[in-house]
Amino acid sequence: MKRCLSFFLTILFFLHPTSGQEKFRRLPPYPDPLTEWRPPRLETATLSNGLTVAVLSRKNSPFLSLQLLIRAGESLSPENLPGLATATARLLNRGTLLLSAMDIEDKLEAIGGQLEIITTYDRTLFSLTSLAENLDAALSLLSQIVMQPSFPANELDAVRRQLSYDFLEKRENPDYLAQKQLLRFLFAGHPYERGLFNEDSLRRITRRDIQLFFNRHYRPENAVMVIGGNLGLSTVSRRVSHYFNTWKKGDLPRPSVPGLTPSAEKIFGFVDLPRAKEVTVALGNIISGQLTDDIFPFLVLNQVLGGSPHSRLFMNLRETRQLAYTAFSEVEIFQGGWVFMIQAKFPPAAVAPGLKEIERELARLVEEKIPTAEIEQAKSFLIESFPLDLEALDSMTRRAAEMLAFGLSETHWERWSENILNLDTNRVTDVAQKLLTVPFSGVIVGDSRLLTNFFQEYGEIRVYDRKGQFLYTLSKGEAK
C-alpha cells in the first residue's frame, strides 16, 4: 500500500508543471552586493547681487540643465487678482527689449533647447535644457527673458487664450478635478487659494499689474539658479555672473507665507463628470509637520500606506479586496505646510466600501504599531529608489532648486540614506500618532448617473461644477 502511494505521489510530482524546470527558476534570486554610491555634491555660491548659484556636476552629459527659481508663486498674487503670478511668468518669454516671441523660440531651438515655465503656489520655475556646448547662449537667453521683458500687450491676449484652453482640457481630467476641489477645501481663506484661479480672473489682469508684480518679485536675492551638466562651480559662477550681474537687488523684504492649518471639519464634495466609467476619489488634509524633524519618518509612513503598488492601500484595496483599480498616497511640501493626499479609482459600485477601507487603513497606522519588517521594506525602497529619481538631469536639478528654496542645506542629499536608515518603528509610529489624527476631507469625481445608490447611502455631500462653483448640497437618502 505504502509503495503504491509513493508511486502515485512520484507520478504526481513529475506531472506538475513546475517539476520539469531548473530549480533556480522557482524562487526569486538574491540581489547582488549593493553598489556603493554617494549622491552628487551640490556646490553653491552667492553672487554680489544676492543670486544663489549652485552646480551639480555630471560627466559626459550631452545636455545642460538650468533651473532658475523665483520665490514668486500664486500666493503672492493680490487677493483680487488671482492668476497674476502665472500670467507674469507666461508673458516673460513672449518678448524682450530685443527679441520677439518668435525670436525667443528660434534662439531656444537653435541651441537644442526647451524651456518650461511652471508657477506653483510658492514659486515660479524657469527650467531650460540645452545641448551641452551652449552654456553662454542659454544663459544669455534666460537673462534676457527674466531681466529685460517687454510685456507685449498683444501677447497677453495669447497667454490668456492659451491658459483658457489649458483649463478647458484639464476639466476633462478627473484627477485634476478631484485634486483641485480638495485643495479648495484645504486652502480656504489662505493665500494659496489664489493658485486655484480660473480663466474668469485672467480677464481682469492688465499689463500694468504684470509689470508691478515683476518689478516687486523678480529680484536676484529672491532667486536660486541651479545648473547641471559637465561643469564646475568656478566656470558656472563666472558665466552666470557675466550675464546676471546687472540684475539689481530689490529693496523690499521677502514676503512670508502664513502657515497652513489642518481643517477640523470633514467635508465631502462631488463633481459630476458625465461618461466617466471610473470614479476618482481624492482625500486629504493639511499636516503640521516640521521639515527638519518629521519629514523622513513621514516619508516612510507614506511609503507604508500608499507610496507604491506594494504599499497597504494598493495591496488591500486592489489586490486583496478588488475594490479599487488604483490607490496611492503622497505628501506634497509647501512653504506654508504639507498636504497629505490619498487618490484612488473605483468602479462605481465599490466607492462606499472603498472609502471605508481607506479610513480603516488610516486608523490602523495610528492605532497599531507598524511591523518592523514593513518599516524596513519602506526604508530600503526610499533609499534604493533615490538614484533613480536623480537619473534625468532636469529632475535632479529641479529637486536641488526646490531644496535650496526651502532653505535646506547642501548636505541634505548626502545624508539622505543615513537619515532614513536611522529610523525605527517607534519613531514612525510616533509621527503617525502626532500628525495623522486629523479628519480627512474628500472629493468624488464621476458620472452622477452611476452613483445614485452611493448618494442615497452616504451623508452630506456638497456638489460643485467643474470650475469649482458650489451648486447645492445632497443629504443622505437623496439622489441627484
Rule CB under 8 A: which residues touch other proteins? 17-18, 21-22, 24-37, 58-60, 62-63, 101-102, 105-106, 108-113, 131, 158, 161, 165, 172-173, 275-278, 308-310, 319, 325, 377, 380-388, 390-393
Point out which residues pair with 338 in neighbouring strands: 287, 333
Q: How far apart (Å, rounded) are the C-alpha atoms in residues 389 and 395?
A: 7
Cell of 407: 532653505
Minimum Å distance from CB 17 to other proteins?
6
Question: Residue 386 or residue 406: which is nearer to other proteins going by CB?
Answer: 386
Q: What is the DSSP string of 140-175?
A: HHHHHHHHSB---HHHHHHHHHHHHHHHHHHTT-HH
Minimum Å distance from CB 131 to other proteins?
6
Place of cell 524657469: 126
Question: Residue 31 or residue 407: which is nearer to other proteins going by CB?
Answer: 31
Minimum Å distance from CB 309 to other proteins?
5
Q: What is the DSSP string of 373-429?
A: HHHHHHHHHHHHHHHHHTSSHHHHHHHHHHHHHTT--GGGTTTHHHHHHT--HHHHH
Question: Residue 192 or residue 381: which is nearer to other proteins going by CB?
Answer: 381
Question: Residue 212 or residue 315: which is nearer to other proteins going by CB?
Answer: 315
Cell of 197: 484661479
**Number of neighbours of residue 219 by Cβ within 10 angstroms:** 22
Minimum Å distance from CB 6 to other proteins?
26
Minimum Å distance from CB 261 to other proteins?
34
Report CA-CA distances (Å) from 108 to 64, 134, 138, 432: 13, 10, 8, 47
Cell of 129: 535644457
Point out which residues pair with 55 in neighbouring strands: 43, 227
Amino acid at 31: P
Minimum Å distance from CB 170 to other proteins?
12
Question: Residue 17 or residue 407: which is nearer to other proteins going by CB?
Answer: 17
* 8 Å CB contact between 331 and 254: no
Minimum Å distance from CB 275 to other proteins?
6
Question: Residue 370 or residue 382: which is nearer to other proteins going by CB?
Answer: 382
Place of cell 553662454: 136
Cell of 52: 544663489
Minimum Å distance from CB 380 to other proteins?
7
Torsion angle of the four alpha carbons 125, 126, 132, 134, in this order, in degrees rounded to the nearest 10:
-150
Question: Residue 10 or residue 114: which is nearer to other proteins going by CB?
Answer: 114
Residue 100 is given by DSSP the state B
Question: Residue 54 or residue 111: which is nearer to other proteins going by CB?
Answer: 111
Minimum Å distance from CB 348 to other proteins?
13
Question: Residue 36 or residue 79: which is nearer to other proteins going by CB?
Answer: 36
Q: What are phi and psi of 127, to 5 degrees?
A: -110, 110
Question: Residue 43 or residue 105: which is nearer to other proteins going by CB?
Answer: 105
Minimum Å distance from CB 109 to other proteins?
4
Strand order of the β-sheet with 63-70 is: 42-46, 52-57, 223-229, 63-70, 124-131, 114-119
